[in-house]
Amino acid sequence: DIQMTQSSSSFSVSLGDRVTITCKASEDIYNRLAWYQQKPGNAPRLLISGATSLETGVPSRFSGSGSGKDYTLSITSLQTEDVATYYCQQYWSTPLTFGAGTKLELK
């Protein structure tokens, strides 16, 4: 199984910050990576697929980058509504696997 490691389980942020969340796969996943945002009581919301493709309706302050094993989700100028938990997911091979999540908390 491919292991997905998100280096930080949580960190404190301020409104307006640029935030970078990292995700590392245990092997090359060839950009088959999705990012999700989840708020309490809700199902995950798809933000990005193919490592860099922003889903329709997702604000342009979100972006994804990376290749091989290493991927990044960036949020420029953090807004209140961005406070949530973020997950990466690989879909290069089954079983599909997710990172453990990175929770953003306001300082």
Quickly count: other Cβ atoms within 10 Å of residue 33's Cβ. 26
Q: Specify the DSSP class assigned to residue 41.
A: T
Q: Which of residues 46-85 bind other proteins (CB under 8 A)?
A: 46, 49-50, 55
- Binding of other proteins by 102 (CB under 8 A): no
Per 3-state DSSP, what percentage of the chain is helix, strand, and coil (rounded to 5)?
5, 50, 50
Of residues 75, 89, 102, 104, which one binds other proteins by CB under 8 A? 89
Site of interaction with other proteins (CB under 8 A) = 32, 34, 36, 43-44, 46, 49-50, 55, 87, 89, 91, 94-101
